[in-house]
Structure 1
Amino acid sequence: MSEVVIYHNPACGTSRKTLALLRERGVEPRVVEYLKAGWTQAQLKSLAARAGLPLRAFLRQRGTSAEALGLTGTGVTEDQLAAAMVREPILVERPVVDGPRGVAVCRPPEKALDLI
């Protein structure tokens, strides 16, 4: 099986549940604590492209400054979103799982099962 990567926030219950679910299924993913590691614009755009979604689908609004930063409006470009997510990694919804069958924001955690 190809490597599975979980972009993880250990403070997030959904992220912890997703990691536990993967491990219950015998998958030991590479865990990237993205709040520490950060993101690059290329990485974010690549993950969104592999997911078949616009980058906006990766924007976390609840509990972040996304609205105050003007990122929730319709005129915001992918480049603007990516730049903001690089500056403030908390703006990326979690957890993101990258597996042999694609990429998804795993809310609910069971979405990760489709990727392995």
Structure 2
Amino acid sequence: MMDTLFIQYPKCGTCRKAKKYLEEQGVAFADRHIVEEAPTKEELRSYLEKSGLDIRKFFNTSGQKYRELGLKDKLKSMSEEEMLDLLATDGMLVKRPILVRGSQATVGFKEEEFQKVLG
């Protein structure tokens, strides 16, 4: 089993860049489509803990769904549990890509953050 999980949306330009970066680094990874196989609440909780990031960083704030649901204002009054529940309902609400390896995880694509996760 591969120890690196790459969760992405194939039509996302940032995801394509990140995937190319991983391939260029010679990293073997499991590739998962974020909409066809959306992360579960438990998985999201695990990624959140591994990343050390604020849960709001896990929202795809530039996504159409985020705007449609008016989440910019709603998130302010939501608990972490409610946010996890919401994220688990739709892969398009989740910021991508997500890179997970061992006890590390990150969302979005920045080479230096990927390097931290890859060790």
Indicate if the aligned counterparts of 2:8 and 2:33 stay in contact, CA closer than 8 A: yes
SS at match of 2:17: helix
1:113 shift after superposition: 2.1
Distance 2:25 2:109 in 1: 18
Indicate if the aligned counterparts of 1:8 and 1:31 stay in contact, CA closer than 8 A: yes
1:33 shift after superposition: 0.7
Distance 1:107 1:50 in 2: 16
- In terms of fraction of residues, the more helix-rich structure is 2
Distance 2:103 2:21 in 1: 17
What is the CA deviation profile of residues 69-105 of structure 1, one whole-angstrom value per residue up to 9, with x for unaligned ones?
A: 2432311111221122121210100001012461111
1:23 shift after superposition: 1.0
Indicate if the aligned counterparts of 1:14 and 1:108 stay in contact, CA closer than 8 A: no
Please, which of 56, 76, 79 is the counterpart of residue 78 of structure 2? 76
> Which segment is superposed worse, 8-17 or 71-80?
71-80
Distance 2:54 2:3 in 1: 24
Greater than 6 Å deviation, 4+ residue runs? none
AA at the equivalent of 2:31: V
Q: Structure 1 length as normaliser, TM-score?
A: 0.87
AA at the equivalent of 1:72: K
SS at match of 2:44: helix
Distance 2:26 2:15 in 1: 17
> Which segment is superposed worse, 58-67 or 35-44?
58-67
> Identity over aligned residues, as a percent?
24
AA at the equivalent of 2:22: L
What value does the CA root-mean-square deviation take over the aligned residues?
1.8
Q: Structure 2 length as normaliser, TM-score?
A: 0.85
AA at the equivalent of 1:43: E
Indicate if the aligned counterparts of 1:71 and 1:81 stay in contact, CA closer than 8 A: no
Name the residue aligned to 2:37. Answer: 37
Indicate if the aligned counterparts of 1:39 and 1:86 stay in contact, CA closer than 8 A: yes
Distance 1:109 1:63 in 2: 22
Distance 2:89 2:102 in 1: 29
